[in-house]
Amino acid sequence: MKNERDHASIILKKGKEKPVINHHHWIFSGAIMAMPRCGAGDIVPVKSFSGDLLGHAYINPATSITARMINFDDASPLDSIRRAIQAALKLRKALFNERTTGYRLINAEGDGLPGLIADWYNGLIVLQVSTLGMERLKRVIVEILCKELNPIGIYEKSVMPGRAEEGLSDSTGVLYGTLNEPVEILESGIRFLVRVTDSQKTGFYFDQRQMRELVKDYAGRRRVLNCFSYTGAFTVCALKGGAMTVDSVDTSAEALQQAKENVTLNSCDTGLSRYFEADVFEFLRVTHDAYDFIILDPPAFAKKASDVVKACRGYKDINRSAIKRVQPGGIILTCSCSYHIDATLFQQVVFQASREAERNVRILQRHHLAPDHPVNIYHPEGEYLKSLVLYVE
Ligand code: SAH
């Protein structure tokens, strides 16, 4: 920047341009020398200290991530958004065939679209908007999605704690077309009924798709315990994989009811499955049934960085109980979707749990997010799910 002050752009502090040049989407308040004269949610050019244009971002001065980049060049921001959506859809077309009709269409920064999640439920799109900047772009996004995909309906389910920080209240409702619940989706040929309005997240955990394949592979002739079973996606896969029995445990009676429906829908032998409305921590302590395969897929115990110590205690607790309980030669699939607990820390927790359970434990496999949740190499913060397959002697 020379002598004239540029009032329309974000000007970064000297030396703070590197992450943006490296295509990282977030600009923290501490990196900004001067903010433009415009309102929260507006899209503005972003310039280095020396005045070079680095791209465009939408801003929200009320949040610590003050700006989020939507392109890294001089293209029109709306053109860039359209291209990013088209690229996201192209990837999904390459990943799935007609045997899978439910998946994540747009994975926020992973698809170059900060603040936006869109899931595809066999013709119905469920949107989650987490930032003010994206909220402003919602109409444009809906238009583009309608043009590209011709959906039956678009339903917004923007219910997340981060919205309050952005100055937004929760927002739900039909944005386009109609919503007929439940929707039925296919995943690798398996049928699932999904209720998007009265459910967790957008309705279904697509991020665990790879692990569901793995559960099918390991379940054969085993007695399976599916902890935190939600609507029974792992339960159905275990039964399809030839499990001798599958017990599902969740605190939500509605989720368990839907799990039963999904088991029936897939013509699985309903006599092989049982359902327990219970707290997993308690259930694992008191159950005396023998299991050869235990699945632990809890909700995120660490929602923020300050939760990490307590969350590790929770992960250790359930892993220790499962390792103690599983039969010799048994398998455990243990997962964590806490972003603040990385793969190394999670493995340390499982190490401690194994020591305390006094069993020999070996890692057979590691698994991560399903590929419709791409992680942008320039934005590794998109990685959150990690899983270990353990063999317990
Ligand atoms: N494994 C599931 C997703 C799990 S989501 C799938 O693949 O679809 C987490 C689930 O844990 C939710 O259904 C929630 O109701 C349940 N839950 C949360 N805390 C729990 C607890 N302490 N005991 C049992 N279930 C719990």
CATH fold of 205-392: Rossmann fold (3.40.50)
Q: What is the pLDDT of residue 296?
A: 98
The CATH-assigned architecture of domain 77-180 is 2-Layer Sandwich (3.30)
User: Given ligand 1 and candidates 251, 257, 310, 385, which is best to mutate, with the most ligand atoms within 8 Å of its CB?
Assistant: 251
* Top-tier CATH class for 10-71: mainly beta
Q: Could you tell me which residues come within 8 angstroms of residue 348 by beta carbon, excluding any fewer than 6 positions away?
A: none
Sheet with 273-277, side-by-side order of all strands: 273-277, 245-250, 223-227, 291-296, 326-336, 386-392, 361-367
Helix orientation angle between 233-240 and 209-219, rounded to the nearest 10 degrees: 40
Residue with CA closest to ligand 1 atom 10: 228
Q: Could you tell me which residues come within 8 angstroms of residue 290 by beta carbon, excluding any fewer than 6 positions away?
A: 223, 327
Q: What is the pLDDT of residue 5?
A: 77
Q: What is the pLDDT of residue 368?
A: 82
Distance, CA of 40 to CA of 136 (rounded, Å) = 10
337 is catalytic: yes
Compute the C-alpha angle 379/133/29, nearest 5°: 60
Q: Which of 268, 312, 335, 337 is catalytic?
A: 337
* Tokens representing residue 83 in the block: 């291209």
pTM of this structure: 0.95
Classify residue 342 as exposed, middle or buried by CB count within 10 Å of its CB (0-12, 13-18, 19+). Answer: middle
Distance from residue 205's CA to the centre of ligand 1 (Å): 11
Distance, CA of 33 to CA of 226 (rounded, Å) = 52
Note whether 10-71 and 205-392 share their fold. Answer: no
**Ligand 1 pocket: which residues have CB below 6 Å?**
200, 205, 208, 228, 230-231, 233-234, 249-252, 255, 279-281, 297-299
Q: What is the pLDDT of residue 1?
A: 46
CB atoms within 10 A of CB 52: 12
Domain boundaries, the chain: 10-71, 77-180, 205-392
Distance, CA of 374 to CA of 258 (rounded, Å) = 29
Please report the atom of ligand 1 found closest to the CA of residue 231: 8
Q: Are 125 and 105 in contact (CB under 8 A)?
A: yes
Helix (H, G, I), strand (E, B) or coil at 335: strand
Residue with CA closest to ligand 1 atom 3: 230
From first to last of its 393 residues, what are the pLDDT tens digits of the chain? 455 678 999 999 999 999 999 999 999 999 999 999 999 999 999 999 999 999 999 999 999 999 999 999 999 999 999 999 999 999 999 999 999 999 999 999 999 999 999 999 999 999 999 999 999 999 999 999 999 999 999 999 999 988 999 999 999 999 999 999 999 999 999 999 999 998 989 999 999 999 999 999 999 999 999 999 999 999 999 999 999 999 999 999 999 999 999 999 999 999 999 999 999 999 999 988 999 999 999 999 998 899 999 999 999 999 999 999 999 999 999 999 999 999 999 999 999 999 999 999 999 999 888 999 999 999 999 999 999 999 999
